[in-house]
Structure 1
Amino acid sequence: MQDVLVSVCLPVRNGAKRIPAVARSVLAQDHTDLELVISDNASTDETQEVARALAAEDPRVKYYRQPENVGLLNNFVSAMHRATGTYMRWIGDDDAMQPNCISRSLDRFAEDPRLIMVTAACEFHGDDGVVRTSEYHREELLSDDPIVRLTEMLRLLNDSYLLLDPLYGVIRREAIVGIPRKNMLREDQVYSSKLALAGPWGHVNEVLYRRGFQRDERRPQLARRLGVPVWTARAANTLQGREMLRWVNEGADLTPEQRRQARAAVRKWYLDRQQIVLSRRGRRLAQVVGLGGRNTAEQPG
């Protein structure tokens, strides 16, 4: 698939110091028929100058600037709509791809024409300095049955972000460009469930890219960064489940029986997620009580 155009979409705001390294990793791909679409969300630093310089150096770089801050999600979507490739993927402004990231993904597409997306193993570079990765060997996401795929994706959402990162896979653009996105907390997880219902996925069990990852950002802080009401941080799981159910009922192309099964899968995901939350709170409380007990015991009588 050497003659197929692939778009790599880089949404960015105030990333002047980071985007040169990202661009180098994209333009160094061994699959050279590609475009790097930079969507600048009205940056106030030198992002515009840096991006225009990159575009002047390599005609594969396409630079677009939003006239005003349209928000994080809208800038992602705008970058996708600017893309012209048969395939596309997003990349963050602190991420990087291995030189064979695109070509290995296209090889997987060539093996199975049913696929709408190909994911790969990723190295997550945390802000704590720790590099994390994991292998994924299951095949439910390859199924022709949308409920099997959805159930597996929901399991992964409750299991570990290390296993699979669908938002940074290579995607057949025509298969997903019409899927709507809603600006909200956990929107990436909602979108992952929509992608699971859209068609089968392939996976390359090799580390083909790395991502910067903030582990300690609190939900209220993230809500402010996304431009959504801070109160939604208190109901993130419920609002996520409601949006997934709305898509199952109104958006996804499913039979009545599949809708029933999908609703049951989402409800199970919600109950499992709530149980995880309660378990975490219980462990934290036990740690606090235990710490308090030790402090009391150590005080002089």
Structure 2
Amino acid sequence: MRTDQKSVVAAQGESATAPRHACRFCRGGRGAVVLDLHTQPACDHFPSATDPGPDPAYPLQLWLCDNCGLAQLLDDPTVPEEPRATEPAALAEQAADAVHRVAAAGLLPEGATVAEYGSPHGGSWLPRLTERGLHPVAPGETAQVVLDCFGLMHHADQAAALKERVDRLETGGVLLVQFHSLATILRCGQWNALRHGHYAYYSTPALARMLTVAGLSPRAAWVFDLYGGTVLLAAVKGPAAPEPGLSALLIGENSLGVTDPAVLATLQRQVSVSAKALHGYLTQRRAAGTRVLGYGAASRAVALLCAAGVGPELLPAVADASPAKHGRRMPGSGVPVVAPPELIAAAPDEVLLFLPDLLTEVRAAYPEITGWVIAEPEPRAAQPPSREEPPMSAPTDDRPASAPRPAPALIGKAPAPIAIGFPVRNGKPYLQGALDSLLAQRGVDFELHIADNCSDDGTEDICRELAANDERVHYQRRTENVGVTANHNMLVREVNSPYFLWAASDDASHPDRLRLLLEALERDPFAVLSFSAARQIDSNGNTLEVWRNPCRTNHLDPVVRLRDLIGLEHENYHCYGLMKRDVLLRTLLLPPVKNNDRILVAELALHGPFAEVEQDLLFHRLHERRLTQSVSQRDWYRQQRTDGRKLVLPNVEEAGWYLKAVRNSPLRGTELGRALWALRPWFQANAVPMARNVARAAVDGARMITGPGRPDDR
């Protein structure tokens, strides 16, 4: 392989051609290297612990085909070794769940014949299928059901491997393909899923296209939590229309950018982020005298340890349940692999878990260990089991301030999963109650980032005292008044957590709000935001009204979501939801116009659906001091100005920002045209106000020319 192969960098969005490589499926020659891990040891080669090395290393690059959208290894000179892993309980449980769901869909008829293509790593579904009355066939025979569970990706020639499976499928039969979704890899920053021997990394759109080319009709899909997001795709040999679940996946993954080389190349940045976080965590723990060992000598841990420069001096051992790995060491890093009893005997303070799916299993198997730490994408303390939920009730403002609490077990310098952005200016008298309700959140790690925009009412003293007594609280005071909108937007860029939520200084939250929003967002791999029902409360905490979502924010079609949101005629509480920060950063954020929250939410809806929690978790306070209720639209608008202009055209500029938001979305071609056309009702409804803006601006401009003073504010 040539060492001068050009790579793609996300910021440049270049498309690099690879003249020596032909796509493993379509044989096309145009594509882009979207992830380059340089040289890495083969992750299935576990040398003896007495082997001093060095271990052989080989190029490891992910290439995206411009033609068919298949992400794949660019080259792989390694020879697969015999698998040494054991089947985890999570994999067995997922298999049982998958068989149940596929059978419920009517795709596993009793008496049907079945052929299985399993993974080299084990985990057959045949026992479960035979229990349901299906009959396995001999190798090479045709069958009515052909199953491939993590097997197809192990074939260098993807076209030939898929053809073999299709040829064995009888007319009217169903092919089931299970795969670790490329969308999950992208969404979760799982760059270390790239490994030698795994030749293909499927997105649902790419695999559906491959199946169609092979003569099948993609029909249904199911998503499972395994590995952060695993997809089971069903295609039939015969005509069939895609069911809603499959359509949702296709729309969601396309919106995510799974076939866009510039989007996939963002994984390259995650490599250094993960590596620095892991090395920093272990270095800090060693300096503090904290004993840390690892669990799970997984293939994905190989590249992570190598990238982080972690060896036995930082991580003395990794335990693994597979006897075949005992007495060996991790390739490249040299970290010894030991049996679980040795881990227990060592009595570590913390155990770094390299396979998050094993958490429930290892907690049950090794109750002596309490300090579990999830290793990727950045080290973080494992969440405790969920506690019983209290009754849903509105908070009161006469309760005492909560006692100072230490931070949850955040690890090293790695950020908490959730960052709460708390912009404030002169937040009294509701500030303390708002902060108390946020710090009372339970069942989830979070950080509270307060951005004080030059308050002069005692807000600074309250916040500084809180930050001094609670490690979760980070306080900063702006050096100048940057305006409401800029203060909100700056917070998004100043934090590092994967999830972000804005909180107002006069609102309150149910203590389980963050946990329930996070659970809702994690259940749907394509959702970009989760929100809840809300109550409007008065200055004393009494309920005024309840708010329920009137929009189809979970609709499969992004244009339907857009159309509903821009037609919203009352309060918009979606903007107070929990957002995926990487998606939020791909938007224009809040523009400097009134109704900017609606514009941002509309743009987010074009990136993906929203997950809804139908419980009153947000308590939104309406009072006379609230900015949006105390100033005119024109005065509010002037407060956001940073360009020095005096002429105000609120509706005209709001229209311009809607257009910018749609054009900035991931939609392209016909879908982009549909989204722009969906703005037409809003433009029609605002035609008269926009005309008045222009007329008013003409009058104000004339006054500025003919006489002193600013435009009339009537």
Report the TM-score range of the alignment, normalised by the length of the smaller protein.
0.7 to 0.9
Question: Matched residue of 1:133: which SS?
Answer: strand
5 Å-filtered alignment, 1:1-301, equals: 2=383, 5-125=417-537, 131-136=544-549, 140-156=552-568, 159-161=569-571, 164-181=572-589, 182-213=591-622, 214=626, 215=629, 217-227=631-641, 231-232=647-648, 235-249=649-663, 251-273=664-686
Match of 2:78 in 1: none
- Of residues 259-268 and 236-245 in structure 1, the stretch that sits farther from structure 2 once superposed is 236-245
- Of residues 45-54 and 142-151 in structure 1, the stretch that sits farther from structure 2 once superposed is 142-151
User: Post-superposition shift, 1:47?
Assistant: 2.1
Letter of the structure 2 residue corresponding to residue 255 of structure 1: R
Query: Are the counterparts in 1 of residues 651 and 689 from structure 2 also a CA contact under 8 Å?
Result: no
Query: Are the counterparts in 1 of residues 500 and 579 from structure 2 also a CA contact under 8 Å?
Result: yes
Output one character per residue of 1:129-182: Cα deviation in whole Å (capped at 9) or x when no partner: 8712232365x32234321221121222xx332xx4121001111111232232
Letter of the structure 2 residue corresponding to residue 238 of structure 1: V
Question: Matched residue of 1:141: which SS?
Answer: coil
User: Post-superposition shift, 1:116?
Assistant: 0.8
Give distance in 2, aligned partners of 1:221 and 1:212: 22
Letter of the structure 1 residue corresponding to residue 606 of structure 2: L
- TM-score, with length taken from structure 2: 0.35
Change (3 A) 1:69 1:97: same
Letter of the structure 2 residue corresponding to residue 261 of structure 1: R
User: Post-superposition shift, 1:46?
Assistant: 2.2
Change (3 A) 1:125 1:197: same
- TM-score, with length taken from structure 1: 0.80
Give distance in 2, aligned partners of 1:186 and 1:203: 22
Letter of the structure 2 residue corresponding to residue 2 of structure 1: Q
Output one character per residue of 1:189-218: Cα deviation in whole Å (capped at 9) or x when no partner: 221211111211111111101122354643
Output one character per residue of 1:216-261: Cα deviation in whole Å (capped at 9) or x when no partner: 64313322443476753xx433322222113323x12212211211
Structure 2 unaligned runs (5+)?
Answer: 1-381, 385-415, 691-714
Give distance in 2, aligned partners of 1:86 and 1:42: 28
- Kindly tell me the number of residue pairs found equivalent between the two proteins: 269
Change (3 A) 1:130 1:137: closer
* Larger helix percent: 1
Structure 1 unaligned runs (5+)?
Answer: 278-301
Identical aligned residues as a percent:
26
Give distance in 2, aligned partners of 1:188 and 1:26: 21
Query: Are the counterparts in 1 of residues 588 and 661 from structure 2 also a CA contact under 8 Å?
Result: no
RMSD between aligned residues: 2.7
Change (3 A) 1:275 1:30: farther
Q: Which has the higher contact order (CA 8 A, sep 6+)?
A: 1
Letter of the structure 2 residue corresponding to residue 155 of structure 1: G
Larger-gyration structure (1/2): 2
Question: Matched residue of 2:679: which SS?
Answer: helix
